Amino acid sequence: MPEKILVVDDEKDIADLLEVYLKNENYVVYKFYSAEESLECIAREEMDLAILDIMLPGVSGFSICQQIREKYTYPIIMLTAKGEETDKITGLTLGADDYVTKPFRPLELVARVKAQLRRYKKYDAQLKNEESSNTELSYEKLKLNEKTYECLLDGEPILLTPTEFSILRILLENVGKVVSVEELFRSIWKDEYYSKNSSTITVHIRHLREKLKDTGEAPTYIKTIWGVGYKI
């Protein structure tokens, strides 16, 4: 069954171009030029991925991202204006998985879409597959179940996006070892087009720390090894 992709951008030329490229890859595209229309669709249809422009009239792409994250874990790619680093960080903090800067090459965006869908399908399949092995990773009061995709902190469930889950899984698989930012990029995105901007990982790590209530100067779980990477 073809994957369903939501595209929301008030620049009609961009939205129409994305629709053409995505349909050429056999995706089903739900295209909207306004946030209000898209929110009605989000309420009735579960997508496989969303592409959201940040600068929309009325309701912003940030608001749509927040509303999606209240119900769903499917990947979200934000479209940002060139050089708007604050927008990128805000989007990632709200639960976006990736961002693409305008102007962009359509084929690069398609590559990002494919990379995100590969990870999400793996995430979703393992979530639903009752036959998969019950692998649990743990450290201190933190437990990560690769079969059910549950994360527990001191027995309390924590809702993670696929990207956050992947980062935490890699770190827990390497307890005591430093995992470089480059290794995280390679393991998670596997995308040769990906611009290696360290702020992407940094924001996801910060979001994870907030969810783990681990934001002090001496973190219990995710520790920064300056100039190298992260470790648990």
**What six digits make up the tokens of 49?**
């991925």
Q: For helices 162-173 and 181-188, what crossing angle results, to 10°?
A: 120
* Count of positions (residues) in the chain: 232
Written as tens digits, the pLDDT of the chain (232 aa) is: 789 999 999 999 999 999 999 999 999 999 999 998 899 899 888 899 999 999 888 888 999 998 998 888 889 999 987 666 677 677 777 788 888 888 889 998 999 999 888 877 766 665 555 444 557 899 989 999 887 788 999 999 998 888 889 899 999 999 999 999 888 887 877 654 455 566 778 888 988 999 998 887 888 899 999 888 999 9
Domains and CATH numbers, the chain: 4-121 (3.40.50.2300), 129-231 (1.10.10.10)
For residue 14, count other CB atoms closer than 10 A to its CB: 18
Q: What is the pLDDT of residue 82?
A: 62
- Looking at residue 93, its pLDDT comes to 73
pLDDT for the residue 32? 95
Token representation of residue 125: 């399949």
**Alpha carbon distance 204, 190 (integer Å):** 17
d(CA 97, CA 75): 6
Please report the pLDDT score of residue 83 as a whole number.
Answer: 63
Closest CA to 139 of 219, 221, 224: 221
pLDDT of residue 38: 93
Q: What does pTM read for this prediction?
A: 0.62
Please report the pLDDT score of residue 65 as a whole number. 92
